[in-house]
Amino acid sequence: MEKAIIRQRIAVLRDNWPEKERIKMNKLIEKNVYGLKEFEKAKAVMLFVPFRSEVDTLPIIKTALKLKKRVILPRVEKTLAEKKLLAIEINDVKKDLKTGAYGILEPFKKAKEVTPEEIELVFVPGIAFDKKGSRIGYGGGYYDRFLKNIPLSKRIGIAYSFQLAGNIPSTKHDLKVAKVLTEKGVKLC
């Protein structure tokens, strides 16, 4: 119940945050990503395409492609048996993405799937994060199931500073991030 309340409050706050301010914060977040030694060193980076009022990662995706990094994006795959997140490599934002599950841009089905072992850094979205690295997503568990195959040291949350919560209740199924990157810098968890 507490998670649902935090999710709702921060999602509403984020959705109602002035767009002009979010644009400024996005530019600072972008600068902070480029300043990360993990980003600089990584040859294969997993990002996400923004949904609703999430941090705008599209400029970061485009820059990573220009830097000749392998750019990996999530694609949701739902069957009767399971719901999972696939890691798919893209080469071009305009040509390789289409509207997928939940109305989010994601890679085409024909694109190349990447194994977790190939990924050197994952930027993880979330509605809220805390100082211990706990996160609240949208409640589907897609990232938690996916991240179990990615070492903690390779997981970095990315959000606006107002999305940092005091303490997020978590269970053993809720996977953490090692750091959270905001417009104010990087916080170790």
Q: Which domains does the chain have, with CATH numbers?
A: 2-184 (3.40.50.10420)
Confidence at residue 1, expressed as pLDDT on a 0 to 100 scale? 58
For the cut 70, the answer to whether the pLDDT of residue 24 exceeds it is yes
How far is the CA of 12 from the CAs of 21, 63, 71, 143, 168, in angstroms?
A: 16, 30, 30, 21, 17
Note the pLDDT tens digit of each residue in 119-147.
Answer: 999 999 999 999 999 999 988 889 999 99
Confidence at residue 104, expressed as pLDDT on a 0 to 100 scale? 87
Note the pLDDT tens digit of each residue in 154-187.
Answer: 999 999 999 998 889 888 888 999 999 999 999 9
Region 22-49: what's the mean pLDDT? 98
By the 8 A CB rule, do 46 and 117 touch?
A: no
**Residues present in the chain in total:** 189
pTM of the model: 0.93
| Closest to 189 measured CA to CA, from 111, 120, 129 | 129
Per-residue HEC secondary structure of 123-177 comes to EECCCEECCCCCEECCCCCHHHHHHCCCCHHHEEEECCHHHECCCCCCCCCCCCC
By the 8 A CB rule, do 116 and 145 touch?
A: no
- Structure confidence at residue 63 as a pLDDT band (50, 70, 90): very high
In degrees and rounded to multiples of 5, residue 40 shows phi and psi of -60, -45
**Separation between Cα atoms, residue 186 and residue 112, nearest integer Å:** 31
Three-state secondary-structure class, residue 119: coil
Which helix (H) or strand (E) segment holds residue 106: the answer is: strand 105-107
Note the pLDDT tens digit of each residue in 91-125.
Answer: 999 999 998 877 889 998 777 899 999 999 999 99
Give the alpha-carbon dihedral of 66, 176, 129, 158, to 10 degrees: 0
